[in-house]
Amino acid sequence: MFGSPPEGEIWSGDDAAVVAAPAGRMLFTIDTLIEEIDFDLAYAKPEDVGWKAVAVNVSDIAAMGGRPAHAVTALWLPSSTSLVAAEGISRGVAECCKAFSVSNVGGDVSTASQIGIAVAMTGGAHVEPVRRSGARPGDLLGVTGQLGGAAAGLAALQAGRGADFPDAVRRQLRPQPRADEGGALAGAGVTAMVDISDGLASDLGHLTEASGTGCDVDVHALPVDPSVGAVAEVVGRAVLDMAVIGGEDFELLFAVPPDRLDAVQDALSGTQTPVSIIGRFTDAETGIAGRSLKEWKERGWEHLRAR
């Protein structure tokens, strides 16, 4: 399912995998999905769970400007879990690894009271890694793609209306991390970057706190996912809530000095991925539509609280 190792490498089946190390500096991250907290098999297929567990790590590597290389996977399952479900999760891991040229080189399966999966991933840092802390007042705030689609997909699924909103559902269940865009943005000279996993309000807070800046966001400039309006109407929620505090879009949020904006747009022109400039870093407070990030976040997606 996970392919064969190249000459000189050893993948699963021994005490540890042996792989070619990335040259120079290496990126290294881990992320976990837990049943009932991060996914619900009432609406996610096992394959979706496996896909997403890999995708969130690809997104973290991309947000540093890197390219993913190798993954190891820990899966834990109640003993009542069907073999079909267990294999489905692994198949989703394999699909996402293939889609983003990651080699899954090892794993571990345990028994637990609840399904969960942790994926650890290494990546190569071909350009200088981009931290969260490099934004300066005057830099522009940019974002790839569209916002709110993943939250809309979740809301549609939870309302039993997933079949009516396939694009939004796909954004929720099969996120497409910006693997190529991260390196392109890093090469074009962005000064800070984060992926949007917790939601715009939370992740912008990560950038401004690490950078010691504020930021003014122009709410009218937000690239709202085209699915969001219709879903919001059906489920009775505000469009802006989905775009600002809905998480899991896995778009890249970055700071770019105005004189490098052309370079950013050139760098992304090959990817067909739109970039929107949605604000400007300042030395004052951070606000979105006149409300502080704290106000947004208190209403927002909480990683540590069950859905």
Q: Given the rule CB under 8 A, which residues bind its own copies?
A: 8-10, 13-32, 34, 36-38, 59-61, 63-64, 66, 70, 72-74, 76, 79, 105-114, 116, 118, 120-123, 125, 129, 131-133, 193-195, 210, 303-306
Asked if residues 275 and 143 have their Cβ atoms less than 8 Å apart, the reply is yes
CB burial readout 141-157, b (16+ within 10 A) else e: bbbbbbbbbbbbbbbbb
Q: Is the dihedral of CA 294, 298, 300, 306 positive or negative?
A: positive
Least distance (Å) from its own copies to the CB of residue 164? 31
Helix (H, G, I), strand (E, B) or coil at 193: strand
Least distance (Å) from its own copies to the CB of residue 120? 3
CA distance 12 to 16: 7
148: left (phi over 0), alpha (psi -120 to 50) or beta: left
Q: Which C-beta is closer to its own copies: that of 72 or that of 140? A: 72
Q: Which C-beta is closer to its own copies: that of 13 or that of 290? A: 13
Least distance (Å) from its own copies to the CB of residue 97? 14
CA distance 131 to 227: 31
- Residue 39 pairs in a beta bridge with 35
Least distance (Å) from its own copies to the CB of residue 38? 7
* 233, two tokens: 């109407």
Asked if residues 217 and 287 have their Cβ atoms less than 8 Å apart, the reply is yes
Q: Where is 67: in which H helix or E strand?
A: strand 67-77
Q: Which C-beta is closer to its own copies: that of 32 or that of 282? A: 32
Q: Which C-beta is closer to its own copies: that of 28 or that of 266? A: 28
Q: Which C-beta is closer to its own copies: that of 39 or that of 281? A: 39
Least distance (Å) from its own copies to the CB of residue 82? 15
Least distance (Å) from its own copies to the CB of residue 234? 29
Q: Which C-beta is closer to its own copies: that of 165 or that of 301? A: 301
Least distance (Å) from its own copies to the CB of residue 68? 10
Only one residue has tokens 């290389």, namely 69
CA distance 198 to 202: 6
237: left (phi over 0), alpha (psi -120 to 50) or beta: beta
Q: Which C-beta is closer to its own copies: that of 188 or that of 228? A: 188
CA atoms within 13 A on the CB side of 257: 8
CA distance 156 to 153: 5
Least distance (Å) from its own copies to the CB of residue 282? 22
Q: Which C-beta is closer to its own copies: that of 22 or that of 287? A: 22
134: left (phi over 0), alpha (psi -120 to 50) or beta: alpha
Q: Which C-beta is closer to its own copies: that of 9 or that of 180? A: 9
Least distance (Å) from its own copies to the CB of residue 305? 7
